[in-house]
């Protein structure tokens, strides 16, 4: 059965719907670096074993007192600076590790950014959450509910990592990435093209945190402590991830009239290097066309794609005019893809740069409130004009 496939409508060569256009990007990882050697001390593993199976050399973990919303706020600040705008009409946060089970973190994140009063909500699709959130934001823009939307992917996966489980403890990490989308034309650089979204709930147990939800709470049994940790069937996840992302990628590329050979860069969920390489091989693309920063940041869940975008944009791995394919796979099972031509954006810090440098604020410490950015109605354009022009 087919998932959702969306393409902005047009007729007789005339654009009849607004498109969501990438205007800014930013990312941030907490300062604490955890190397493979650090993990090897408590696990039956080694740096060589971790690198060969995952491609990861280090990752970042939050310190006590810091949580998902803190990472989301800093990544969002950087994206807003990149976009040259202090305000948006809506905030969408993709996460599987909210600060609390209730309420969503998006309203708090918006408030801390000085965006009180805007629409704000969380979206849960695990590692596909950012792509689903892009599609949701594009819908807000297309239906004129918003002119600008801040989309954030943020996860603190160390909070659900079993330190004794070698298969997940060496992979999962913490981080946040964000983009600003603005209303624009379908034919301009940065405009998001078709979306392909799908799911298969028959595989819902392949990636899960079994305890903590309503089913477990109402089961009448005492949960095993291990049920509160992230678990994954690695073999089945690998197979599904490659097959689903490849099929979804082919769909969106075909719908916008490209050939796979036309794609300059693939920005995929950073699950592990073997999946990235297998995806490139399945799409018959050179492996170096697939953007990879997993060696430095690990698997950051919903944050992985926007972090990779921020990293690639800041380092010049993606440049204005590049044809970019974005694709993800995650728990649910869920998957999704979209495409865009990379626009000319304002320079942005790399995700590992010190906190606060992007917004010109003093570095924040865990538990403190960063100074809010002023909010201006979206009827007032940025003083310097859209960042993609």
Query: What residues does 195 pair with on adjacent strands?
Result: 6, 338
Contact 128, 334 (CB under 8 A): yes
* Gap between the Cα atoms of 286 and 148, Å rounded: 35
102 is catalytic: no
Catalytic residue among 36, 272, 293, 299: 299
Q: How many angstroms separate the first and last alpha carbons of the chain?
A: 40
Axis crossing angle, helix 68-83 with helix 304-315, rounded to the nearest 10: 40
* Gap between the Cα atoms of 10 and 17, Å rounded: 7
| SS3 assignment, position 114 | coil
Query: What is the enclosing helix (H) or strand (E) of 273?
Result: helix 273-282
Reading the block at residue 231, the tokens are 């678990």
**β pairing state of 265-268 and 323-330:** parallel
Task: State the Cα angle at 174 between 172 and 179, rounded to 5°.
Answer: 120
Catalytic residue among 36, 60, 240, 269: 269
**Contact residues for 8 (Cβ-Cβ < 8 A; gap 6+):** 15, 17, 18, 19, 142, 186, 193
Q: 309 — phi, psi (to 5°)?
A: -65, -45
Contact 330, 179 (CB under 8 A): no
Q: What share of the chain is helix, strand, coil (3-state, %, to 5)?
A: 35, 25, 45
Query: What residues does 180 pair with on adjacent strands?
Result: 24, 150
Catalytic residue among 127, 240, 272, 293: 127
**Bond from prior residue into 103 cis (ω within 30 degrees of 0):** yes
Reading the block at residue 111, the tokens are 């408030």
Contact 139, 20 (CB under 8 A): no
Q: Given CA atoms 249, 250, 254, 258 in this order, what sign does their dihedral have? A: positive
240 is catalytic: no
Query: Helices (H) and strands (E) in the chain — how many of each?
Result: 11, 16
Residue positions annotated with a catalytic role: 127, 269, 299
């Amino acid at each position: 059965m087919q998932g959702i496939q969306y393409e902005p409508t047009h007729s007789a060569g005339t654009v009849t719907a607004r498109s969501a256009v990438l205007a800014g990007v930013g990312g941030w990882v907490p300062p604490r670096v955890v190397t493979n050697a650090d993990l090897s001390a408590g696990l039956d593993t080694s740096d060589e074993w971790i690198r060969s199976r995952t491609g990861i050399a280090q990752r970042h973990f939050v310190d006590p007192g810091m949580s998902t919303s803190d990472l989301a706020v800093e990544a969002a600040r950087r994206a807003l600076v990149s976009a040259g705008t202090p305000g948006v009409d809506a905030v969408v946060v993709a996460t599987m590790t909210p600060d609390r089970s209730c309420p969503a973190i998006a309203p708090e994140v918006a408030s801390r950014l000085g965006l009180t009063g805007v629409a704000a909500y969380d979206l849960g699709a695990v590692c596909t959450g950012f792509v689903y959130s892009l599609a949701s934001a594009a819908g807000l823009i297309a239906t004129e509910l918003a002119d600008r939307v801040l989309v954030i992917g943020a996860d603190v996966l160390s909070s659900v990592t079993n330190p004794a489980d070698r298969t997940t403890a060496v992979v999962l990490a913490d981080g946040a990435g964000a983009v600003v989308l603005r209303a624009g034309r379908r034919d301009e650089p940065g405009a998001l093209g078709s979306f392909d979204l799908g799911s298969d709930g028959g595989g819902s147990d392949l990636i899960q945190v079994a305890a903590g939800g309503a089913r477990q709470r109402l089961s009448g049994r005492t949960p095993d402590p291990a049920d509160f940790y992230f678990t994954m069937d690695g073999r089945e996840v690998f197979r599904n991830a490659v097959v689903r992302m490849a099929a979804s990628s082919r769909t969106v590329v075909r719908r916008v009239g490209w050939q796979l050979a036309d794609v300059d860069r693939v920005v995929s969920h950073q699950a592990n290097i073997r999946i990235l390489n297998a995806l490139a091989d399945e799409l018959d693309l050179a492996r170096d066309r697939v953007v990879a920063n997993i060696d430095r940041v690990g698997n950051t869940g919903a944050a992985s794609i926007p972090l990779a975008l921020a990293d690639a944009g800041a380092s010049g791995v993606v440049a204005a005019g590049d044809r970019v394919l974005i694709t993800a796979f995650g728990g649910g099972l869920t998957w999704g893809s979209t495409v865009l031509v990379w626009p000319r954006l304002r320079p942005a810090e790399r995700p590992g740069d010190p906190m606060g440098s992007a917004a010109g604020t003093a570095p924040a410490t865990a538990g403190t409130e960063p100074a809010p950015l002023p909010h201006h109605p979206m009827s007032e354009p940025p003083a310097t004009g859209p960042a993609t022009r």
